[in-house]
Structure 1
Amino acid sequence: MSDRLFLLDAMALIYRAHFAFIKNPIRTSDGVNTSALYGFANTLLDILHNQKPTHLGVAIDTSAPTPRHEMFPDYKAQREEIPEDIAMAIPQVKRLLQAMNVPLLVRDGYEADDIIGIMAARADKAGMETFMVTPDKDFGQLVTEHVKIYKPGRQGSDVEILGVKEVCERWGIERPSQVIDILGLMGDAVDNIPGVKGFGEKTATALIQQFGSVENLLANTDQLKGKQKEKLEASRDDAILSKKLATIFTDMPFEAELADLVVKPHDDEALKAFLTEFEFNALGRRLFGDDFKAGRGRKTDQAVKQAASLSPDAPSAQDDLFSPSVSAKLTTIADTPHVYHLVQSAEERQKLLQLLAKQPSYCFDLETTGLDPRDTQIVGIAFSWKAHEGWFVHFPREKAAAKAVLEEFRDLLTREGTEKIGHNLKFDLSVLLAHGIEVRGPFFDTMLAHSLIDPDQRHGMDYLSETYLRYTPVPITSLIGTEKDDLFSQATMADVAAQDARKVADYAAEDADVTWQLAAKMRPELKEQVYVFESIESPLLPVLTKMENFGVKIDVQALREYGIELEKKAQELQKRIQENAGGPFNLNSPKQLGEVLFDRLKLIDKPKKTATGQYQTNEQVLQSLLGLHPIIQDILDYREVTKLNSTYVEALPHAVSKVTGRVHTTFHQLMAATGRMASSNPNLQNIPIRSDLGREIRKAFVPGHDGWILMSADYSQIELRVMAALSGDEAMIEAFAQGHDIHQATAARVYGVELDGVLPEMRRTAKMVNFGIIYGISAFGLSQRLGIPRAEAATIIENYFQQFPGIKRFMDQIVADTKKHGYTETLTKRRRTIRDITSANATVRGQAERVAMNTPIQGTAADMIKLAMIHVDTALTKAGLQARMLLQVHDELLFEMPASEADQARAIIVDAMKNALQLPHGVQAEVEAGTGTNWLQAH
């Protein structure tokens, strides 16, 4: 194989990795943000594994000044201070490289770009195939026949490799070295390279395409006209300087030789220790497999005997009725064997049932052939009620026989008062409900418990096991792996169980055992959140299980007819848009749309651009352009029409279950750290309600029986009522008490007019401010949303807080308390840790402050509707009504019921919702309820 050199731009990759996970950072169990470190490590390992380099080096900057600072003292003077999480990652990246025996290329006075340039030039001269691993466009100037840019994939995208052809096409130039000239003209705000004032990428590229270089351009300014010529003449010196600053050095002396970059074996022990320290367990298993952690070897017969002797309740290996087996793995915190029993005969099941009947609490976990609760076969049930021991009941494959075995466990599972423990219990409850068994609580779900303990972390069982127990459970691929030569590569869990029930027993019983141990570890950590867990999240489990099992009826024919209407409207809009654009173009291409709006129609002088240089054409940008040209509203309408058609009209019919004929969404209790629920497969939370076109989708949601109706019950402005209650602001509380339109009342106060003097645009602004305040909106954010100057937005916010001083005090107090304690909480004491609230980086800290302000309000509203769902379900059942809850969408609940039950059900539902959670300062929740033959009519 020919030599292949990979040169990594460390800081570019570290920054890229950090911001790739900015919304959902990767953290260790003690809260350290390892996003940048993980992303860098993952990129490095991908290259080593998939690209097979023969030579490898990582270049990194130092803080020492460079020759560019001598040329231009203000070089990089405007760069923001490095975020703390990135600063903390840099020394750890160096440790990682040391453990992997990867050379770190660094020297004071040299930027990483220059080091890469020097080594790439040497490799090019030697004819070595070289890849510069970086997302930085500046490296295009170094590309040759043998030297290419390697841009790692992002969020699932493929790696992009840019050679001479790709770089020249990207910039429209003849040779890669001309990238320097373009960069020199356009400058770089990040590095404070001045460029030519008023020249952007488009102008700079066009001029270099015409003149070939900055020098030739400056020698021929007489060929330019107007302001372009004036700007260039005024910035002549800046253009020359900027080209020098943008040039990557390739001929400076540097100690490292290509031979020093030969790939070497990594230090196994140092690397294992590093990956363990930062809890990069998936990377560890990828590198070392079962040897990732010490003491993981498969047990001998002697270990089996030792396991039996360590468990006082366990018979010997020879005469145990349950045929004990020992897991193939040991914990790292103690060399404790695991005893797992396979239960197959009727006699064995009865003995197990007798043991379970004595337990006040036990863990159970189903093994199934699929993930659709209404269309899956139960392979078996695993149980555990003591650490390091578990039982697996293997079900017969024949359906009637399997059903008979399940019936043996009905009384056990439906017994009230016995605690049932599990991980992601809702799936198990759903499967059992689909098989006719409604499991009774109380429940302890370790996934939900950890979602409360640390809502911003991962909650998978493997991660929790590794974090709490320092133990990695057997992966499912060990049973139904994906390797071509794996015995069970094409098998289901049932196939595996039929061929090797012991193998499934070890796997399933281990899950139950680990979950039992996790529950014990987590109970003390719930502390102040025990009410949220025991009175909200756990009782909600069976409610959501029933809702998912009921599903909702869809009128597929109505959707198809509406789809024809939407398609016709989309064609009309497309025709009108292209006429207004002056010719045909691809409406679904952001690039072509940007060129139409800003090059052809020239709607604004300085349009925003993406990181790749394309014009931004997202919804926020288009909203800001409304009123400038009729084409904007048509484009927004076109996007809505096509999204409605693809997301709902075309997709929903495919979501109809072949078993039930209804659509069954999956509810997620704690997907959001505030506690708000979400749904998926399909997502029914985002069905539009504000637009006429979106509302039509709701017409397709209908009752499932003749003589039945739908009822919608919706909280009225609940988050604003919660804000009024928590803040104690007298003016807002009074507005609600008087029954005023809260946005009209707010507008009257902010603008200093009487209620009847509030104009529609005043109310619109007040509404935006009311909801924006909940999310900690800034003057800049409000100006963007309303399309007004920032100063005007700042005045509106200032007036708002003058009229509602209690809200201002409340928001300030939340931020102060969060900085003091490190967390914020809802009225029910649901906690959310805000780790960046004391960040030295103003941008990061500001975002954390907004999260802190929003969480108590949105989280309390989320708690209220969850409590309402529990109370409504209990009350409807107690009243003996057939009415049933189908959907929860933000602040709304949807029900299905016989028309004859409407009045009684309405009274029960409204009362339960209004009184679900007592708000402070006498603020009352208000609920609106309506009925109809479809969801839209009921809303």
Structure 2
Amino acid sequence: MTSKQKLVLIDGNSILYRAFFALPLLTNDKGVYTNAVFGFTKMLMRVLEEENPTHMLVAFDAGKTTFRHETYKEYKGGRQKTPPELSEQFLLVRELLDASSVVHYELEQYEADDIIGTLAKSATESGFNVQVISGDKDMLQLVSNDVHVHITRKGISEVDVYTPEFLKEKLELEPNQIIDMKALMGDSSDNIPGVPGVGEKTAIKLLKQFDTLENIYQHLDEVSGKKLKEKLTTHEESAFMSKKLVTINQNSPIEVNLDQAIYQGYDDNKLRTLFKNLGFKSLLNTVGNEADEGENSTERLSSMDLKIVENIDEITFTGNDALVVEMLEENYHKADILGLGLANEKGYYFVPTELAMNSDLFKQWLEDPKQKKLTFDSKKVMVSLLRHGIRVQGITFDLLLASYLINPAENSHDIPAISHRLGFEDLLFDEEVYGKGAKSHVPEQSQLADHVIRKAKALFQLKETAVAKLKENEQKSLLKDLELPLAIILGEMEATGVRVDQEQLNVMQVELKERLTTIEAEIYQLAGENFNINSPKQLGVILFEKLNLPVIKKTKTGYSTSADVLDKLEDKHPIITKILLYRQLGKLQSTYIEGLLKVIHKDNKIHTRFNQALTQTGRLSSIEPNLQNIPIRLEEGRKIRKAFIPSEKDWVILAFDYSQIELRVLAHIAKDEKLMTAFREDRDIHTQTAMDIFHVEADQVDDLMRRQAKAVNFGIVYGISDYGLSQNLKITRKEAQAFIDRYFESYPGVKNYMDDIVHQAKLEGYVKTLMNRRRYLPEITSRNFNQRSFAERTAMNTPIQGSAADIIKKAMIDLDHALKSEKQTARLLLQVHDELILEAPKDEVDKLKELVPKIMEETVELIVPLKVDSSEGQTWYDAK
């Protein structure tokens, strides 16, 4: 089958409609709507890459009237008019297909389905393999061994591929029965009547018994159920008319043939031009670099006076200079500096790395706090220059952080992307200059210098635009007083690093291997044979065929053995507990033990990177490695923290953890009297909630009640549904909803807050934290229930989680100031969500255990007290 020629047929109308409603409305800089075209384009590029077709065609509906209207005038009647925002995008899609060298076709009086059906028939008769892509399940009637139908499931990103076997698994029908199923159940979207009152389940049941529509009516007396028999009898004519309507015409008089649908690839330059016109910047890197023939990129960029500095004296510093430190690799702890760009009102300069790092004059300028510097990613600038012994000071602006605060939902915050968003387009994207992946390279100096200078120029010119937007959003202080000073502190933390006991990790690696071997043997014994535990296919056979455990879920390739499936089976057989443990320990071994050993630097430390401009809530995250996500539910996971030790002799690790900060923020925002009282009186909030939802006294609250109350408390913060809570607590949805209802009865202020914040988000389009951090929620008015529900939960949670993130950030700034003013040698090492990790000499511990909680608790004033717990030890493990 793989050696056959492959024809890909796309249902243009169906995919375009799905893309339009799946994506928020987007426009390019000319105000043209592009969301449907963007979604369609992403799908098209994915199909071209994955399917590698020899032949391809996109079919469109030709108009509102088809030959089916002769049978039934009301066919597709009642459909809502196509939104004008979508109508105008059909022409753009045809332009896209022309630029992609993909044939598109439509035929008067016929639909895209008929064109696709006719070509699919012709292709299979010629020995082709056919892939049909649509959002319309009517296409399933075309399924065969040679025709596979891809049906979009969620928007256009998730797809089910229907083969005869998969169709049988999903609907228990053969492909030729799809027509009869649709004839019975009708289709409201196309106004096909079918048999009123007969849905998919009933239609499938009838066809499994009688095979065809005709046979059903020949054996009506054998149909069980008086009402069903009456419906079928009354609407017999409607059923057969519906069958005629839903049947795809595979002999349509099309004037396009397979030879005309040959696909030989697209022209990179044509697509790049179109993507630029449409504003699809994120897709530019999918079509390769622009060809040099006829258009030299260096010449194209020669409109700027290129100044490659040979002597630092050539630079005129003004005390308000934009500085770009250019690196090709993301990990600035290791990456080489390719060069530095400067821009100010006097000129634009490129400084070669060697010249910059060896110039006392340049170093003095970098370290002078009075010389204001505008940067992009000030933390990266600081850490990369520290590696060269230069402590940069005087940073007063960071375009990365400004862009992130203006809209944290943007996918890309690099200088070219920000520049293009803000109307400064005199700048290529990095992929256009350096290439991508294995093909990435550093260009010759003049092209490199030109690119870096343009970045510096953009940074210099865009500062005022960004600051004006921050002022408009009341976020200028958020940048100046919170994110910018925090970036410097995080840079110091990253440069300091965390000392690791490599021998301890090696010991743990051996212990875990031995433990895994033991568990593996126990699993084999319970299974009665050896098999590959990491193979879902082999594991599925053992669990569901040999041990006959109940099948929870199936996938395209067999039985699902995902974690949620195994959780539901844990009480059915002891092998499940062993498998879950085996997986957990295996992940500890590969991801954490082996992962940490790979990233230890020569100084025996790990230097993580904190993402300050990633999460939409404002929380920090950590990468290479992620030290915020070391699993601690298992003792084996907690033990990993034993490897993290102080970097100096006679020092200790200290941990300071905000207690239930998000619930305290909720109490402050919601102003619920009972919640506020509980925190003011320092009650155990989970016990208090258990008392309220179970209607018992404190001494009657057992561990299970408190655990369930805790799940409700934190679930409420995240806008949890009855389904989500039922899954967490392994109870019924009815019981979960009763918990939630009783919670809101006990804390009416919280319920009012939840309702009010969702209403406010629908009016304003965003929510914000106590410090004015915004999160935009365009999906909150979506017609799609799932998207709207997610946005509503996000609206409830973001002000709470985001405010908690802002509070700990401010605490870090206050603490850094206090440590320096108090002349303490203690160092901040890590921030792990609500917790700060320090290392300090033993003789500073007593003072720190008094000083740090005080600072953290007083960093902001809430109407309920903040509370901080502290601990210490010889390792991070001991400190907890």
User: Which TM bucket (shorter chain)?
Assistant: 0.7 to 0.9
- The residue type paired with residue 937 of structure 1 is D
Change (3 A) 1:707 1:504: same
Q: Tell me what 1:438 maps to.
A: 391
Q: Is 1:452 the equivalent of 2:398? A: no
2:339 pairs, out of 377, 380, 405, with 380
Cα distance per residue 1:794-819 (max 9 Å; x no partner) = 22111111110111111111111111
Q: Alpha carbons of 1:620 and 1:269: their partners in 2 closer, same or farther (altered >3 Å)?
A: closer
Question: How far 1:184 sits from its partner (Å)?
Answer: 7.8
Post-superposition shift, 1:44?
A: 2.8
SS at match of 2:656: strand
Q: 2:513 aligns with which of 554, 567, 572?
A: 567
Query: TM-score, normalized by length of structure 2?
Result: 0.82
Where does residue 192 of structure 2 map in the other structure? none
Distance in 2 separating the partners of 1:453 and 1:150: 39
Q: Is this contact kept in 2: 1:719–1:861, CA < 8 A?
A: yes
SS at match of 1:57: strand
Give the secondary structure class of the aligned counterpart of 1:704: coil
Q: 1:927 aligns with which of 859, 868, 875?
A: 868
In 1, Cα distance between the equivalents of 2:710 and 2:664?
14
The 8 Å contact of residues 4 and 128 in structure 1, kept in 2 or not, is answered as yes
Q: Distance in 2 between matches of 1:592 and 1:773?
A: 40
Query: How far apart, in 1, do the equivalents of 2:755 and 2:277 lie?
Result: 38
Aligned to 1:709, the other structure's residue is in SS state strand
Q: Which stretch of structure 1 is more off in the superposition, 133-142 or 521-530?
A: 133-142
- TM-score, normalised with respect to structure 1: 0.77
How many Å separate the matches in 2 of 1:890 and 1:338? 45
Instruction: Give 1:599 deviation, angstroms.
Output: 5.2
Q: Which sections of structure 1, spanning at least 5 residues, go unmatched?
A: 222-228, 300-325, 331-336
Please tell me whether the aligned partners of residues 140 and 177 of structure 1 are also in contact (alpha carbons under 8 angstroms): no
Whether the 8 Å CA contact 2:135–2:152 is kept in 1: the answer is yes
Give the whole-Å Cα distance in 2 for the aligned partners of 1:701 and 1:719: 28
Pair 1:640-2:584 in alignment:
yes
Which of 359, 365, 381 is matched with 2:324 structurally? 365
Report the CA distance shift for 1:818/1:705 in structure 2 as closer, same or farther (over 3 A).
same
SS in 2 for 1:837: helix
Match of 1:906 among 849, 856, 859: 849
- Contact in 1 for aligned 2:61/2:106 (Cα 8 Å): yes
- 2:12 maps to 10
Residue 788 (structure 2) pairs with residue 787 (structure 1): no
Distance, in Å, in 2 between the alignment partners of 1:881 and 1:523 is 36
Does 2:801 align with 1:858? yes
- The change in CA–CA distance for 1:61 and 1:898 in structure 2 (over 3 A counts) is farther
CA 1:502 to 1:111, structure 2 compared with 1: closer, same or farther past 3 Å? closer
Could you say which residue in structure 1 is the equivalent of 2:349? 391
Q: Deviations along 1:740-774, whole A, 9 cap, x unmatched?
A: 11111111011111111112221111111111111
Partner residue, 2:824: 881
Instruction: Give yes or no for contact 1:140–1:167 (8 Å, CA) kept in 2.
Output: no
Give the letter aligned to residue 569 of structure 1. R
For residues 571 and 68 of structure 1, the distance between their equivalents in structure 2, rounded to whole angstroms, comes to 69
Contact 1:47 1:53 in 2 (8 A): no
Q: Distance in 2 between matches of 1:671 and 1:26?
A: 22
Counterpart residue number, 1:548:
494
Sort the Cα spacing of 1:48 and 1:811 in 2 relative to 1 into closer, same or farther, 3 A. Answer: closer
- The residue type paired with residue 466 of structure 2 is M
Native 8 Å contact 1:60 1:104 kept in 2: no
Which sits farther off after the overlay, 179-188 or 539-548? 179-188
For residue 938 of structure 1, give the secondary structure of its aligned residue in structure 2. coil
Q: Residue 343 of structure 1 aligns to a residue in which SS? A: coil
CA distance change for structure 1 residues 48 and 848 in 2, over 3 Å: closer, same or farther?
closer
CA distance in 2, matches of 1:736, 1:549: 38
Per mean C-alpha deviation after superposition, the further-off stretch among 847-856 and 428-437 is 428-437
- Mapped to 2, the partners of 1:623 and 1:103 lie a distance apart of 49
Give the aligned partner of residue 195 of structure 2: none
Q: Which residue of 2 aligns with 1:253?
A: 252
1:798 match: secondary structure:
helix
1:273 Cα offset (Å): 8.4
Once residues 36 and 797 of structure 1 are traced to their aligned partners in structure 2, the CA distance between those partners, rounded to angstroms, is 39
Give the secondary structure class of the aligned counterpart of 1:340.
Answer: coil
- SS of the equivalent of 1:421 reads strand
| 1:620 partnered with 2:564 | yes
**Counterpart check, 1:695 vs 2:697:** no
- Following the alignment from structure 1 to structure 2, what is the Cα–Cα distance between the partners of residues 566 and 755? 42
Query: Helix, strand or coil for the counterpart of 1:687?
Result: coil
**Identical amino acids, percent of aligned pairs:** 33
Residue identity matched to 2:589: N
- Write the distance in 2 (CA, Å) between the matches of 1:706 and 1:731: 49
**Aligned partners of 1:100 and 1:271 also within 8 Å:** no
CA distance in 2, matches of 1:705, 1:82: 71
Shift of 1:524: 0.7
Q: CA deviation at 1:775?
A: 1.0
Is contact 2:652-2:875 (8 Å) kept? Answer: yes
Q: Does 1:328 align with 2:296?
A: no
Aligned residues: CA RMSD: 5.0
CA contact (8 A) 1:327 1:339 kept: no
1-structure distance, mates of 2:323, 2:493: 22
The correspondence of residues 290-369 of structure 1 with structure 2, limited to 5 A, is: 328-329=300-301, 337-345=303-311, 349-352=312-315, 355-356=316-317, 358-359=318-319, 361-368=320-327
1:478-510, Cα deviation, whole Å (9 max, x unpaired): 6655799xxxx786x4xx5xxx54333212111
Cα drift, residue 576 of structure 1 = 3.5
Q: Using a 3 Å threshold, how does the CA distance of structure 1 residues 28 and 721 change in structure 2: closer, same or farther?
A: farther
Cα offset for 1:927?
A: 0.8
Secondary structure in 1 matching 2:475: helix
Deviation at 1:281, TM superposition (A): 2.7
CA distance in 1, matches of 2:89, 2:532: 47
Equivalent in the alignment of 2:418:
464
Contact persistence 1:187–1:196 (CA under 8 A)? no
In the alignment, residue 473 of structure 1 is paired with which amino acid?
L
Name the stretch that deviates more: 568-577 or 41-50.
41-50
Amino acid at match of 1:350: D
Deviations 1:861-909 (A, max 9, x none): 0001111111112221222222111111111111112222212233332
Query: 2:140 touches 2:178 (CA, 8 Å); kept in 1?
Result: no
Match status 1:420 vs 2:379: no
Tell me if structure 1 keeps the 8 A contact 2:183–2:243: no
Distance (Å, rounded) in 2 between the aligned partners of 1:99 and 1:365: 36
- 614, 621, 625: which one aligns with 1:678: 621
Q: 1:89-128 alignment to 2 at 5 Å?
A: 92-98=89-95, 100-101=97-98, 105=105, 112-125=112-125
> Aligned pair in 2 of structure 1 residues 70, 666: CA closer, same or farther (>3 Å)?
farther
Q: 1:373 to 1:470 in 2, by over 3 A?
A: closer
- Kindly provide the amino acid, as one letter, of the partner of residue 822 in structure 2: A
Gap change, CA 1:370 and 1:120, over 3 Å in 2: closer
1:937 aligns with 2:878: yes
Unmatched 5+ stretches in structure 2 = 189-197
Distance in 2 of aligned mates of 1:39 and 1:373: 34
Counterparts of 1:191 and 1:583, CA distance in 2:
50
Is the Cα–Cα contact under 8 Å of residues 129 and 146 in structure 1 kept in the other structure? yes
Q: Closer, same or farther in 2 for the Cα pair 1:618/1:262, shift >3 Å?
A: closer
Counterpart of 1:319? none
Tell me the distance in 1 between the aligned counterparts of 2:861 and 2:186: 51
C-alpha contact 2:373 2:397 (8 A) present in aligned 1: yes
CA distance in 2: counterparts of 1:411 and 1:874, whole angstroms: 24
Report SS of the residue matched to 1:784: helix
Compute the displacement of 1:129 (Å): 6.5
Tell me the CA shift for residue 371 of structure 1. Answer: 4.6
Q: Give the Cα–Cα distance (whole angstroms) in 2 for the partners of residues 856 and 66 of structure 1.
A: 56
SS of equivalent residue, structure 1 residue 367:
strand
1:119 CA drift (Å): 1.9
**Distance in 2 of aligned mates of 1:712 and 1:428:** 29
Bigger mean CA offset, 502-511 vs 362-371? 362-371
Residue 751 (structure 2) pairs with residue 805 (structure 1): no
